[in-house]
Amino acid sequence: MRILKLYLHPLWNARLLLIYSFLSGFAILILAPFLMISLRSVGKGWFGKLWFPPEFTLQWFQTAIDIGNIPQVLGNTALIAAIAVAISTTIGILSGWAFGRRRLPGKEVLMAIILLPRMIPPITYALGVAKIFYGLDLVNTYLGVGLAHVSLCAPYAILVLSSTFEGLDERVLEASAVCGANTLKSFFYVILPMVLPGILASMIFTFTTSYNEFTLTLMTYGPDTVTMAVRTYLAIGEGYVEITSAMSVILVVPSLVILAMIQSGIQPEKLVGGFKGV
């Protein structure tokens, strides 16, 4: 026992070292895959047991843009995301107001029902969505793919916005009424500035959801509505690792921008509420 303690003592003294080796292992595990992708996308002649590519080139990006039709795909992705964000934010504002500010019988149950699409794996209802959209000729249209994304985005918008509206201080609204603002005025000058951060947050999160959404897109896309996620998946199937890596780098940039944005403004823990679309 004494001997064990003698051995353990230096270990306890070196706990900072242990902590940092754990943390650096964690950092390597998270970052190295992305580093490898980005090196792949600019490396040339990287074969065998080499740690780094011997030559650098931008030709894979060129190929990806030419053959992979990236500009159009990016346009598709943005348009579909815009449709999904617009529809789900509208739904979120209306229903968020009802959930946050109105007396509603069985509020918890209603909210749980609304959040169901985020708890069930998307593939289970993506089949039905695809089947219905085939019947309505919505497959391979921007509206169709955007609508399919709404099924995942809307619950999140409602969740975020109802808590935003719930946090509105009743006294400020009363104060604006006392000061003689009519409904329209108090909406534009009092309510809107107060809820704008919440609306923006909800828009950012729904955009990310739509941008990353793969399952529902895969079931409803067509040749004219290929999104970045689907394009990358197809490229992985085609098997040209370098070109796929170049596409992935393009695809990952907006996510990192958004990550930087929320890091400066929004607490990371809040993100957990928005179960990522798988």
Give the nearer residue to other proteins in terms of CB position, either 180 or 184: 184
Q: Classify burial at 182, counting beta carbons within 10 Å of its beta carbon; exposed 0-12, middle 13-18, buried 19 or more.
A: exposed
Give the nearer residue to other proteins in terms of CB position, either 31 or 179: 31
Cα(64)–Cα(80) distance, rounded to whole angstroms? 21
Token code pair at residue 278: 């798988």
What is the closest distance, in whole angstroms, from the C-beta atom of residue 162 to other proteins in the complex? 10
Cα(82)–Cα(185) distance, rounded to whole angstroms? 29
What is the closest distance, in whole angstroms, from the C-beta atom of residue 79 to other proteins in the complex? 18
What is the closest distance, in whole angstroms, from the C-beta atom of residue 224 to other proteins in the complex? 19
Q: Is the CB of residue 80 less than 8 Å from the CB of residue 149?
A: yes
Give the nearer residue to other proteins in terms of CB position, either 7 or 180: 7
Give the nearer residue to other proteins in terms of CB position, either 61 or 211: 211
Give the nearer residue to other proteins in terms of CB position, either 176 or 208: 208
What is the closest distance, in whole angstroms, from the C-beta atom of residue 206 to other proteins in the complex? 12
Mapping DSSP to helix (H, G, I), strand (E, B) and coil, where does residue 104 land?
Answer: coil
DSSP 8-state assignment for residue 50: -
Give the nearer residue to other proteins in terms of CB position, either 167 or 179: 167
Rg (CA), the chain: 24
Residues with Cβ within 8 Å of residue 101, at least 6 apart in sequence? 165, 166, 168
Token code pair at residue 128: 């039905």
Cα(240)–Cα(236) distance, rounded to whole angstroms? 7
Q: Classify burial at 107, counting beta carbons within 10 Å of its beta carbon; exposed 0-12, middle 13-18, buried 19 or more.
A: middle
What is the closest distance, in whole angstroms, from the C-beta atom of residue 5 to other proteins in the complex? 12
What is the closest distance, in whole angstroms, from the C-beta atom of residue 179 to other proteins in the complex? 24
